[in-house]
Structure 1
């Protein structure tokens, strides 16, 4: 996934129109939701049949693709539950249940389906924050799930995590004041949440960037994490057995797009460098996925690897 609908950061200006040069057309054959996805969205929307749901999602997909043609929109990831597939998902719910005031952030939330899943499973809705570069995706998420800001009152903040206006560079140290309320207008950026978050979810975001910017992003996100043992980050992105750059295309006629990929070993080294030796437990594993999950053409016959990871404070 060279770029993603689950994207809270960007190398482009947020106001620019998307460049669709070389992007593939939407393909209904890529529609693949499992039973859990279907049931979750039927419950959310009140629709009665999978056929009705599919028609609804196809309309939402076209709307989202017009905002920005991310491959994950083309591959219907915006309508698939990812967060509950992670081994640490139970720990996220435990933090929401057992840690007073635990705050959870979804970076690059897209349509917000994963925070909706966490809230449905018990994480307090008033302790969740979501952020994405494109505010339109959050509004599209309301239409996807037939909700409103009143029926699903998660705090959403539009912005680029690498933009100081959204998150200032970390000063280090612990916060010196109580956490701000998550209501408007008390919280207008991520900066007041530095060192306060119990959990951060980052799906299909890191691989959008070159290696240096991935390091910058790691430092920014680390500044948000609470120092309490058990505070955690987790997510997934493109990976490889040895770190390096691979090239993917969306279709035979599309131009190649380079993607810098960490390996499990280089990923662990990155987070150890950010937090310090012995401060975090890092787990990362590669899973081979079929390239047609979003319609990518395999790069020189290479398997399509996705890296699933967690970083937990000790």
Structure 2
């Protein structure tokens, strides 16, 4: 496959890429999860199934995360805030979990498997084919999986309009997520938002736009949380990264600039708790590292 792809505001040349199954590797936790979810317990059969879905997804949108099997990661369940999110699902009758920029919605499926009510989970991506392939990957149908899969562009105000963060701490009436055609009806209703590997696809201006858009969705009830994992830097600015020989540039916030964006610019200062952590994370089996920032924004 030849050519270039633009993912958000990050540009990269993919060149002549041949899928290499050597990069396919499931951790014990991933293997157990996908075997349980798909009902495919033979390792080679599972690998064949995943490769078939991967090929269809790459044809729909040739993103590096598809080529490098990034869509198989159980990212959210590795966050310290994950148990808190599951607790919100258990204790709030109106709790809604939004998985934004979800690809196949693997984090959403994992949360459902771990007890967050699936009917209260909505996974959204701009690539509609990814959502269709979610059912193929997990061998489900809209009838068998009660979670909602909603395609849409977060920059389209018809899909999600900007709203001032809610100050109403009273629980909102339940809403049928399966009936939604856009995210705007969820203003002030969402208890938890998973935005892992989403913000860093865009430039600084668009990251602020997304933050405002998601803030308008978040419930004012204390403990409501937005979390993510993105490219980070000691000082905010343009960074250059290399993914398996593919070089791209993008914008990265520092912990300080990210905290001030949420606490004081997006939300009224002092009304949220922002936690950030920079870490050097391996991105391949050759020892290449990437500076990433794990973060969460919790309403007080």
TM-score, length-scaled by structure 1: 0.86
Measure, in 2, the Cα distance between the counterparts of 1:205 and 1:193: 20
1:284 match: 276
C-alpha root-mean-square deviation of aligned residues, in Å? 2.4
SS at match of 1:275: coil
Unaligned 5+ runs, structure 1 = 1-8, 13-18
2:216 match: 223
8 Å contact from structure 2 (residues 50, 137) kept in 1: yes
Matched pairs, number: 291
Post-superposition Cα deviations, 1:155-200, rounded to whole Å, max 9, x if no partner, equal: 121111111011012145457974532133xx21000101110110
SS at match of 1:260: strand
1:257 matches 2:248: yes
Measure, in 2, the Cα distance between the counterparts of 1:172 and 1:54: 44
1:131 matches 2:131: no
1:304 matches 2:290: yes
8 Å contact from structure 1 (residues 23, 250) kept in 2: no
1:222 Cα deviation from its structure 2 partner: 0.4
Measure, in 2, the Cα distance between the counterparts of 1:240 and 1:51: 40
1:99 Cα deviation from its structure 2 partner: 1.1
1:76 matches 2:62: no
SS at match of 1:292: coil
Measure, in 2, the Cα distance between the counterparts of 1:179 and 1:46: 32
Measure, in 2, the Cα distance between the counterparts of 1:181 and 1:87: 29
2:110 match: 117
Counterpart mapping for 1:1-314 below 5 A: 10=8, 22=15, 24-173=17-166, 178-184=173-179, 187-250=180-243, 252=245, 256-272=247-263, 273-292=265-284, 303-314=289-300
2:4 match: none
Post-superposition Cα deviations, 1:11-34, rounded to whole Å, max 9, x if no partner, equal: 69xxxxxx9763744322221221
8 Å contact from structure 1 (residues 179, 196) kept in 2: no
SS at match of 2:161: coil
Distance 1:183 1:128, change over 3 A: same
Post-superposition Cα deviations, 1:32-66, rounded to whole Å, max 9, x if no partner, equal: 22100001101111112222211211111111111
TM-score, length-scaled by structure 2: 0.90
Answer 1 or 2: which has greater strand percent: 2
> Which structure has more RCO (C-alpha within 8 Å, separation ≥ 6)?
1
Distance 1:112 1:172, change over 3 A: closer
Unaligned 5+ runs, structure 2 = 1-6
